[in-house]
C-alpha cells in the first residue's frame, strides 16, 4: 500500500505535468494543493523532496512557483515511490537499491521465502518501473496498457 505522502506526490506531479503540457507556467503550493486535493502542509515537504531529486524546479518572483523540469514520461512510478517511501522490495535481500542480507537466512539461493517473494516482486517492479507520470495522465487504465504492451512483446 502506498502512503498518503506518495499519493500526494503523484498527484502534484500530475498537476505540474498537465500545466507543462498546457504552457509551462509555474504553480504556487496553494494552486497545486487545490488542483490535487492535497493538504498544503504536506505538499511543502513533498515538493522540496521532489525538487531535491531533480524532478521539479522552482521560480521566484511574482509569477513564481513550481514547474516540472523532467519529462512526465521519464518519471517512473518506482522512482517516486522510492524517493518518498524508500525501498520497494518486500525483503531486504531482494532490494537493488538497499540490499541487506536477512539476519536469519543461511543461504539466499535456497531460501523459499526469498524465491516466492522474489518472483512476485520481479513482476511488481517491472510494472512500476515501466509506468510513468504520463501514464497516470492518460484516460485509459495504465494496467491495461501494461498488459497490452506485454502481450505485444510476447508475440
Grid coordinates given for 33: 494543493
pLDDT for the residue 20: 62
The CA-based dihedral angle spanning residues 8, 13, 16, 22, taken in that order and rounded to the nearest 10 degrees: -120
pLDDT for the residue 11: 94
Grid coordinates given for 95: 532490494
pLDDT digits (tens, 9 = 90+) for 60-82: 888 789 999 999 999 999 999 99
Residue pair 138/18 in contact (Cβ under 8 Å)? The answer is no
pLDDT digits (tens, 9 = 90+) for 79-111: 999 999 998 888 888 888 888 888 888 888 888
Residue pair 26/18 in contact (Cβ under 8 Å)? The answer is no
Grid coordinates given for 109: 539461493
SS3 for the chain is: CCCHHHHHHHHHHHHHHHHHHHCCCCECHHHHHHHHCCCHHHHHHHHHHHHHCCCEEEECCCCCEEEECCCHHHCEHHHHHHHHHCCCCCCHHHCCCCCCCCCCCCCHHHCHHHHHHHHHHHHHHHHHHHCEHHHHHCCCCHHHHHHHHHHHHHC
Is the pLDDT score of 8 beyond 80? Answer: yes
Residue ranges per domain, the chain?
4-68, 88-154
Q: Considering only CA atoms, which of 53, 131, 124, 129 is closest in space to residue 94? A: 124
Is the pLDDT score of 37 beyond 70? Answer: yes
CATH 3.20.20.70 fits 4-68, yes or no: no
Give the Cα separation of 122 and 29 in Å (integer): 36
Confidence of residue 146 (pLDDT cuts 50, 70, 90): low
Amino acid at each position: 500500500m502506498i502512503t498518503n505522502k506518495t499519493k500526494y506526490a503523484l498527484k502534484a506531479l500530475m498537476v505540474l505535468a498537465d500545466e507543462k503540457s498546457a504552457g509551462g507556467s509555474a504553480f504556487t503550493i496553494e494552486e497545486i494543493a487545490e488542483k490535487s486535493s492535497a493538504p498544503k502542509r504536506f505538499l511543502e515537504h513533498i515538493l522540496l523532496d521532489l525538487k531535491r531529486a531533480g524532478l521539479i524546479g522552482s521560480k521566484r518572483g511574482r509569477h513564481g512557483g513550481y514547474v516540472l523540469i523532467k519529462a512526465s514520461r521519464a518519471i517512473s512510478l518506482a522512482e517516486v515511490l522510492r524517493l518518498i517511501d524508500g525501498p520497494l522490495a518486500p525483503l531486504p535481500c531482494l532490494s537493488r537499491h538497499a540490499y541487506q542480507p536477512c539476519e536469519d537466512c543461511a543461504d539466499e539461493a535456497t531460501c523459499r521465502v526469498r524465491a516466492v517473494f522474489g518472483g512476485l516482486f520481479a513482476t511488481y517492479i517491472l510494472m512500476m518501473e515501466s509506468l510513468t507520470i504520463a501514464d497516470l495522465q492518460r484516460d485509459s487504465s495504465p494496467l491495461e496498457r501494461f498488459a497490452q504492451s506485454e502481450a505485444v512483446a510476447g508475440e
